[in-house]
Amino acid sequence: MSRTRLRGAAVLAAALLALVPSGAGAAGYPDPLPVAGDTVVHDPTMIRLQDGSYVAYSTHGRLEARVSNDRTHWRRAGDAFDAVPGWWYDYSADGDPWAPEISYRDGRYWLYYTVSKWGSNQSAIGLATSATGRPGSWQDRGIVFASTTTDTYNAIDPAVIADKGRLWMAFGSYWSGIRMVRLDPRTGLADPADTEVRHLATRPDLPYAVEAPTVVKHGRYYYLLASYDACCSGLSATYRIKAGRSASVTGPYVDSKGVPMLEGGGDLLLAAHGSYIGPGGQSVMKDHGRDVLVYHYYDGEDNGVPKLGLNELRWSRDGWPVVG
């Protein structure tokens, strides 16, 4: 193709991206990128390791682990933990952790995760660290933050973001929606000097079904992605991902129409389409300088089995996320 035609194609592509509605999603959604092997996951988190390979952790077991050399072909590789930390049983009779989030900072890997009984907000978020990020290599660091049945929030579904030398953790589900606390960047645990529990998103209708936050920085804005409605019910799942943004990591977050996420706002980013039912439980991974949306969906062609979904997360000209 000639340089002239290449330039013309680039201009056309940019123009088409600019025409995508702010917040995206309104006109249909692309299918997930092809993946193969063991891709039955729930609440996945993924990272590219220092050796160039990939690891994904997900809900259940001792945080199920899968590895890949190319981000396409996956195989089961045991669990994050070789043994169950004793404190898990204070929050879950089965010692079954949920919704991990992996990151790399200060020369080591950090894995945040949830321990809770289903339907209860007597919940805790734990932390483990590792030099390699590999399954079986994690050392548990204990409880980061917990909630009790007297609280108006639920300490599950952690999402961590570093910002200007500070470390923050968003979390939450149902009850009053998405919250945020400050962490001590040295330990990764709750900062004893700042105990405020900030409020980022909720909705006006019971049962306030918004959970699984992800906070990502792009340009001068922070973006809050969250899963709305019902997960965990196979073909009946109504999960979908919505987004808002803020000039401050602690909010307030608003959608493209200016509606605060604390008042039910949020642009629809990804919803059910075709055989891809109830996408959610998302996280965002940086890979070769690009943002990748990592999530699960329920496979309408496989009796609603939860599967791994990957899509590139692109950005419109006016700075709103678009699933590519």
Catalytic residues: 43, 211
**Burial code of 225-256, b = ≥16 C-beta within 10 A, e = fewer?**
bbbbbebbebeebebbbbbbbbeebbbbbbbb
Give whole-number Cα distances, 123 to 163, 257, 267, 295, in Å. 26, 34, 29, 22
Distance between CA atoms of 244 and 267, rounded to whole angstroms? 6
Tell me the torsion sign for CA atoms 105, 108, 109, 112: negative
Write down the residue that tokens 């990128």 correspond to.
Answer: 33
Distance between CA atoms of 224 and 250, rounded to whole angstroms? 10
Q: Edge to edge, what strands does the sheet with 166-172 contain? A: 159-163, 166-172, 178-183, 198-201
In degrees rounded to 5, what are phi and psi of residue 168?
-130, 150
Give whole-number Cα distances, 228 to 96, 208, 250, 291, in Å. 23, 9, 20, 21
Distance between CA atoms of 258 and 244, rounded to whole angstroms? 9
The amino acid present at 165, given as its one-letter code, is: G
DSSP secondary structure letters along 281-321: EEEEEEETTEEEEEEEEEETTTTTEEEEEEEEEEE-TTS-E
CA 106, 109, 112 angle in degrees (round to 5)? 115
